[in-house]
């Protein structure tokens, strides 16, 4: 159950294009909130809502040193998504394999 709740939080966080862009950028390494916010045409307080959502989902971690808040991608949390997608892929591949076998059997039946 907790795993499903974690996935729900992650998918909600990833539903927004700004947050996906932040995750993409953090994939290259940690950076400050100011640097992350720079390319977006929104105010810093609005951008911080995105940061808080990503942090609450566990996708990123933040740390503060002086006046600078740095964000870091939590790759372990992304592994939950990867595991879920792999499970879905296996299920769909098994279903299509069964369908293919059914069609093949029907074609071979006189």
| Predicted local distance difference test score (pLDDT) of residue 1 | 43
DSSP string, the chain: -HHHHHHHHHHHHHTSHHHHHHHHHHTT--EEHHHHHTTSSS-HHHHHHHHHHHHHHTSEEEEEETTEEEEEE-HHHHHHHHHHHHHHHHHHHHHHHHHHHHHHHHHH--
| Predicted local distance difference test score (pLDDT) of residue 2 | 55
pLDDT per residue as tens digits for the range 94-106: 778 777 777 777 7
As averages over each run of 10 residues, the pLDDT of the chain (110 residues) reads 80 96 96 96 95 96 95 93 86 78 74
| Predicted local distance difference test score (pLDDT) of residue 41 | 95
The topology (CATH level 3) of 2-108 is Arc Repressor Mutant, subunit A (1.10.10)
| Predicted local distance difference test score (pLDDT) of residue 88 | 80
């Amino acid at each position: 159950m907790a795993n499903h709740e974690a996935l729900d939080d992650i998918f909600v966080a990833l539903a927004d294009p700004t947050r996906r862009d932040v995750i993409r950028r953090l994939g290259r390494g940690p950076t400050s909130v100011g640097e992350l916010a720079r390319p977006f045409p929104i105010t810093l307080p609005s951008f911080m809502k995105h940061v808080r959502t990503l942090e609450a989902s566990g996708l990123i971690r933040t740390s503060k040193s002086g006046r600078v808040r740095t964000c870091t991608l939590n790759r372990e949390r992304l592994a939950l998504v990867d595991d879920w997608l792999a499970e879905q892929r296996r299920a769909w591949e098994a279903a299509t394999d069964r369908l293919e076998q059914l069609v093949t059997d029907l074609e071979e039946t006189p």
